[in-house]
Amino acid sequence: MTSPLFGRIAFIGIGLIGSSLARVIRRTDPATHIGVCARSQATLDTAMRLGLADAAFTDPAACVQNADLVVICTPIGAYKAIAQAISGALKPGAVVTDVGSVKSAVIRDVAPYLPDGVAFVPGHPIAGTEHSGPEAGFAELFENHWVILTPPRDTDPDAVARVGRLWRNAGSTVEIMAADHHDRVLAITSHLPHLIAYTIVGTATDLEEDTKREVIKFSASGFRDFTRIAASDPVMWRDIFMNNKDAVLDILGRFSEDLTALQRAIRRGEGDTLQELFTRTREIRRGVIDYRQDKIDVKTPDADDNG
């Protein structure tokens, strides 16, 4: 039997993403010892009942003792406190990674607390559903999805390669990217769409009660998709916007300008302008199809609950 990729893995947080990855590891490396840490005893009990963990902890430092890999799967706002808590318990040669949707802030909040000899390989699996908790996970979640790794410049290449193998074992395609570039790309592909979804659904909640009932009753596919996205973990998304605000505000400014131009074209009856825009934007859809991104995720795009 071949030795496992990582002999001992510690999950800090065991929500949708963490529990799905734990299921992958159970399938690909059944000899791996998995420890999980969560604030809720009920969550830990569920993880143990599902066979996702060999040991359960409420103390992050105890969870990472002797771990070869530590996977942080909490909302981003908790990262700094977690890094401080585990710093003294990490063994030399350990690798720390994460699954958060923002990467520059993660490096800012975690890297300063990691001791020498511990490698840091931030990661972002672009996959998820609107559901949360360890029972929501499934091993196929990451198949045919991208995982972006954003290791700092001086990171041990072997650590990057091993984390990459972990995600490839899950069926993902791995891309290496600079953290700031990741944050800008995800601001347009994920963060802005979520912000728009929350806004549109929020607008619907402010309608008169009879109108709101009709909106819900006659929801077409577009509005239904928005409600699915807007059902994502509110704590996670609060942290994403607070920690990627520069990129989001830049993209939001561009979007606002484009929306104003569209509003003006509608008001003035400029049909040619509208048709030209709608024709041009079809090219993006063709690009999505060319990259086979139209069929891989029938659930919420990037609604990665990291609770």
Question: What pLDDT score was predicted for residue 302?
Answer: 41
Model confidence at 90: pLDDT above 90: yes
Q: Which of these, 1, 2, 71, lies nearest to 34 by C-alpha position?
A: 71
Q: In this structure, what token pair is assigned to residue 45?
A: 């009990």
Q: Is the pLDDT of residue 166 over 50?
A: yes
For residue 142, pLDDT beyond 90: yes
- 223 compared with 58, residue with greater pLDDT: 58
Asked whether the beta carbons of 293 and 126 are under 8 A apart, the reply is no
**Measured distance CA(236)–CA(75) in Å, rounded:** 5
Where are the CATH 1.10.3660.10 domain residues in the chain? 181-290
Q: Which fold has domain 181-290?
A: 6-phosphogluconate dehydrogenase C-terminal fold (1.10.3660)
pLDDT band at 205 (very low <50, low <70, confident <90, very high): confident
Q: Give the pLDDT score at 207.
A: 77
The answer to whether 167 touches 174, Cβ cutoff 8 Å, is: yes
pLDDT at 208: 72
Residue 95, strand partner residues: 69, 119
The share of the chain scoring above pLDDT 90, in percent, equals 64
pLDDT digits (tens, 9 = 90+) for 245-290: 999 999 899 889 988 999 999 999 999 988 988 888 777 766 666 6
Could you tell me the pLDDT band of residue 129, with boundaries at 50, 70 and 90? confident
Mean pLDDT over each residue of the chain, to the nearest integer: 88
Confidence of residue 14 (pLDDT cuts 50, 70, 90): very high
Check whether domain 8-177 has CATH 3.30.43.10, yes or no: no
* Amino acid 290: pLDDT: 60
Query: 34, exposed or middle or buried, with CB in 10 Å at 0-12, 13-18, 19+?
Result: buried
Is the pLDDT at 3 greater than 60, yes or no? yes
pLDDT tens figures, 33-83: 999 999 999 999 999 999 999 999 999 999 999 999 999 999 999 999 999
pLDDT band at residue 221, thresholds of 50, 70 and 90? low
What percent of the chain has pLDDT above 70? 91
Question: pLDDT category, 198, cuts 50, 70, 90?
Answer: confident
d(CA 165, CA 151): 15
Q: Which positions ≥6 away from 98 have C-beta within 8 Å?
A: 71, 72, 73, 79, 106, 110, 122, 123
Burial readout 92-108 (b: 16 or more C-beta within 10 A, e: otherwise): eebbbbbbbbbbbbbbe
Which tokens sit at 70?
């530590």
Of 61, 12, 16, 17, nearest to 34 by C-alpha is 12
Specify which residues 10 forms β-bridges with. 35, 70
Residue intervals of the chain classified under CATH 3.40.50.720 are: 8-177
At 307 the pLDDT is 30
The β-bridge relationship of strands 146-149 and 8-12 is unpaired
Residue 155 contacts residue 97 (beta carbons within 8 Å): no
